[in-house]
Chains A and B, each alone.
Chain A
Amino acid sequence: MNNKMWRLGVPRALFYYYYGPWWEIFFETLGIEVIVSPPTYREIMDLGVSLAVAEACLPVKAYYGHAAWLASRVDALLVPRLVSVERKSYICPKLMGLPDMLRATLKPCPQIIDTTVNLARRPEEGLAAAVQGMARAIGVRGHRVELAKAAAEARYRSWTCERWGDTKGLETGNTDQAGERRYALPVGVIGHGYLLYDRYLGMDIPGKVAALGGQVILPENIDPQEVEKACRQLPKRLYWTLGRKIIGTALYLMEQEKVAGLIHLTAFGCGPDSLVGDLAERYARRRGKPFLLLTLDEHTGEAGLNTRLEAFMDMLYRRRSA
């Protein structure tokens, strides 16, 4: 296949918010035109809700919408079958089935690149196989693949470092501010990246918290080693990659005295979160850290969410000044 002609669609949903830059640079370096769907907006969401099975969680429905938006605009869709992205840890089983579910739903369906990514047993071999598999799917082999992988990894590293470094909340909390809010309060906002960074789907909770005077700390702002260390407090190792990241962030932030409270954003229908969220809430209660659980579904009204956020921030300010 002449890959100069190729247009590869990448849905801006789910793991795009974890690996998007890696995928983009990898395929672009190999001479593929990468088209990322636009940030979620109402029509994409409506499209997703109408296509997906009712039992799917909200972010999966959004993914359907993005894939459908791309379907008529590209030659192929990148929907990797993510089984595991690290040793002895797994991705939610609902997400593993995405390529098959999309093939059964999208009519007509473009070619789907569904390379399996499984790093659970032998991470290095698993990664090599995944990279070779993706390259093979577009008809590329050999040295060029290694170069593209190196470029993608470099971009990915700098991107994640930018995100870790952004820990303003922890370092400089309690700066003076004008107005009713006399100072900014560091607040942890935890949850899956595809909710926190998707401003439509996640109702821009981080932005709303900031507007109410919070200094937002996200899971990606924290050194992963600290997150792993905090996870060791759990009696048993969590084998969901994202769940561990969320609970580890929560446990780490609970220990930071400057952090005034935690807000956990979850999606209705998320299996792992139904356990992880409850776990985080129990630890928070035991440690006396204020905790607010916000659950999103397609019927969520913004007014109710705003009321809860306002009340929570009010509570944090009144606690601090008491």
Chain B
Amino acid sequence: MEAIYLGIDVGSVSTNVVAIGESGQILTTVYLRTRGQPVRAIQEGLEQVVNALGEDIKVAGVGTTGSGRSLAAVMVGADVVKNEITAHAVAASLAVPGVQTVIEIGGQDSKIIILRHGIVTDFAMNTVCAAGTGSFLDQQAARLGIPIEEFGRRALEAKSPVRIAGRCAVFAESDMIHKQQQGHPLEDIIAGLCEALVRNYLNNVGKGKEILPPVVFQGGVAANAGMCRAFNRALGTEVIVPEHYGVMGAYGAALLAREMKPGASAFRGFELIGREFRTGGFECQGCANHCEVVELREGRQLLARWGDRCGKWSNAVAV
């Protein structure tokens, strides 16, 4: 029976699961859309891992990351719960040894991580605005009636990309319509969008950061060849897209679980695929803050509560 380590990344747009072996090699990867239902996505992800690897596996450790990491940790029984920055940095430095810059663009966030000698020395994430993220491309692709998968290829066909304002998705759209009305070919507009997003990224998230090669480009948006070319042009260096660019967060979480080497994993078993989990919420009336408390139940049993500022509810559950 082979010992594996699981990494689960529950993001706003996608939920990814990666299984690695003792030596860190990737055994299987799963990429799913979260669709606002993290519990379902996690169960489906685990099911696909079992389908790919068979029943005869022993989970030696589990790491969770992403915005849904706390939920995933309680549900699955995690040994390590880590933020996305650390997870992505760990994965990138294993995939590309000596990496000095990590560009990560996901569905609703984007980040830059600066590493020197294998250690994170600086990082930044986008603030409330999602203009420099995958959702921006998704929206515009939908508006132009092009499947997002074709977006990158079409961008590469551009002869002279047009300049589009990338500060704000709303303004970019009016700019784009204007360019279409003027008669610019679609390819040039698509390439222009990629360049606008890169410009936005470098001016906001990448502001003031010392971007040195090797530069790794990961996250769902790295699938877009047009974005890669736009980064290559803007940075004057070839960005490296690792093989498993879409699931690097989950890969990092699995690596962190392996690094920790828990004596006995807290993993609650693949049986949880078939169990019924429910999330619910209520507004606490205990004080004037009216915290929105979220709870996770398995059948009738309460697994965890969070979201309260004072700890009245979250501490009441012994996990």
Contacts and interface: CB of A to CB of B under 8 A. Distances in A.
B48 interface: no
Interface string A292-311: 00010101100110011011
Interface residues of B, number: 21
A41 interface: yes
A303 B119 CA distance: 24
Given A307-B83, A307-B125, A315 B290 contact: no
A310 B66 CA distance: 12
Interface residues of A, number: 25
Interface in B252-272: none
A233 to B, nearest CB: 20
B120 A310 contact: no
A274 to B, nearest CB: 13
Given A200-B289, A297-B128, A307 B84 contact: yes
A168 interface: no
Given A41-B289, A281-B208, A319 B83 contact: no
Majority secondary structure of chain A interface residues (helix, strand, loop or mixed):
helix
B63 to A, nearest CB: 13
Given A41-B288, A43-B288, A322 B119 contact: yes
A220 to B, nearest CB: 24
A42 B288 contact: yes
A4 interface: no
A311 B289 contact: no
A100 to B, nearest CB: 29
A300 to B, nearest CB: 7
B83 A314 contact: yes
Contacts of B82: 310, 314
Contacts of A290: 121-122
Contacts of B128: 297, 299-300
B125 A308 contact: yes
A236 interface: no
A304 B127 CA distance: 8
A299 B83 CA distance: 21
B117 interface: yes
Nearest to B67: A303
A143 interface: no
A318 interface: yes
B85 A41 contact: no
Contact of A319 (B67, B119, B208): B119
A314 B86 contact: yes
B313 interface: no
Interface string B121-161: 11101011000000000000000000000000000000000
A303 B128 CA distance: 12
A315 B123 contact: yes
Contacts of A322: 117-119
B1 interface: no
Given A299-B128, A300-B128, A308-B125, A41 B287 contact: yes
Contacts of B119: 315, 318-319, 322
A285 interface: yes
A304 B125 contact: yes
A44 B117 CA distance: 48
Most buried by B among A290, A304, A311, A322: A311
A293 B125 CA distance: 11
B171 to A, nearest CB: 19
Contacts of B127: 295, 304
A73 to B, nearest CB: 15
State the 10 A-B residue pairs at the shortest beta-carbon distance, nearest first: A311-B85, A41-B288, A310-B83, A315-B120, A311-B83, A314-B86, A307-B83, A322-B119, A42-B289, A41-B289
Given A311-B85, A315-B85, 17 more contacts: A41-B289, A42-B288, A42-B289, A42-B290, A285-B122, A290-B122, A297-B128, A304-B127, A308-B85, A311-B83, A311-B84, A314-B82, A314-B120, A318-B86, A318-B119, A319-B121, A322-B117
7 contacts: A44-B288, A285-B122, A290-B122, A310-B86, A311-B120, A314-B86, A315-B86
